[in-house]
Amino acid sequence: MTIGSDVLSLAGKRALVVGGSSGIGNGIAQLFRSQGAAVRVWGTRASAADYAGEKGSDLTGLEYERVDVSDPAAIDGAGSFPDGLDILVLAQGAVVYRRKEFEIETFRRVVDVNLTSVMHCCTRFYPAIRERKGSIIVISSIGAYKSVIGNPAYAASKAGVVGLTRTLGDAWAREGVRVNGIAPGMIATKMTAVTTEHPERLQAALDTISLGRLGLPEDVATTALFLVSPLAGYITGQTLVVDGGRSL
């Protein structure tokens, strides 16, 4: 294989980033756009304008669609890709603090968003992805591999998507579709503001990160770019840990 300077170009590619309205998904969407892809993102608010001025949300140049993935009918009714889809990124995520995930209704709600909707989006768009021999990226978490003491639904759902990634990667490889995951550590987004914007909790977190800094959405986005590129053409079913050494 000759590695050309355009190996990371996404010119002519179409991407859908679920959870692309904010944080990690938004970082992936913007990197993919800068590499030449046409990118559609999903989020929960009525319109792109509703994210204006929000830290971690830059919808410039992205096509926005409101789809609440906790509602299966909304996933089924969302816009399609009649000409096929090259890249599907599942970056939706929910976490509920204060031990609420020990209550079964909340447990179910978190699992619905973090696990069941990931499978639903994958099956909904599989025909379009198969048509382009495309690639799927699932965002898990290092919480998949350890206890997350206050968040049983988050931990279980993130472990669940690691297994889902492995199985879909195997099931769809023969059709030319690769499915891989990323397990981020602590990334500065609105989901982690509860820690990162609290000086003592932030210091305690930094003490556990070998590289000595919080991750940025860009750190996850560059890994996603590698995984969808021909450089990762022989990788499928894997979840890469991107955590600055936090899990070491």
Ligand X SMILES: NC(=O)c1ccc[n+]([C@@H]2O[C@H](COP(=O)([O-])OP(=O)(O)OC[C@H]3O[C@@H](n4cnc5c(N)ncnc54)[C@H](OP(=O)(O)O)[C@@H]3O)[C@@H](O)[C@H]2O)c1
Residue ranges in contact with ligand X by CB under 6 A: 19, 21-25, 42-45, 56, 67-70, 91-94, 113, 139, 141, 184, 186-187, 189-192
126 is known as an active-site residue: no
* Rounded Cα distance, 50 and 153, in Å: 29
Q: Locate 131 and state its tokens.
A: 């048509």
Q: Which of 94, 39, 87, 45 is nearest to 66 (CA)?
A: 45
- Give strand pairing partners of 66: 43
Q: What are phi and psi of 43, to 5 degrees?
A: -155, -175
Q: How far is the CB of 190 from ligand X (least distance, A)?
A: 4
Q: How far is the CB of 91 from ligand X (least distance, A)?
A: 5
Q: Nearer Cβ to ligand X, position 124 or 132?
A: 124
Q: Which of 128, 96, 100, 125 is nearest to 113 (CA)?
A: 96
* Rounded Cα distance, 13 and 10, in Å: 5
Per the residue annotation, which of 51, 64, 126, 154 is the catalytic one? 154
Cβ neighbours, 10 Å, residue 45: 15
Catalytic positions are 154
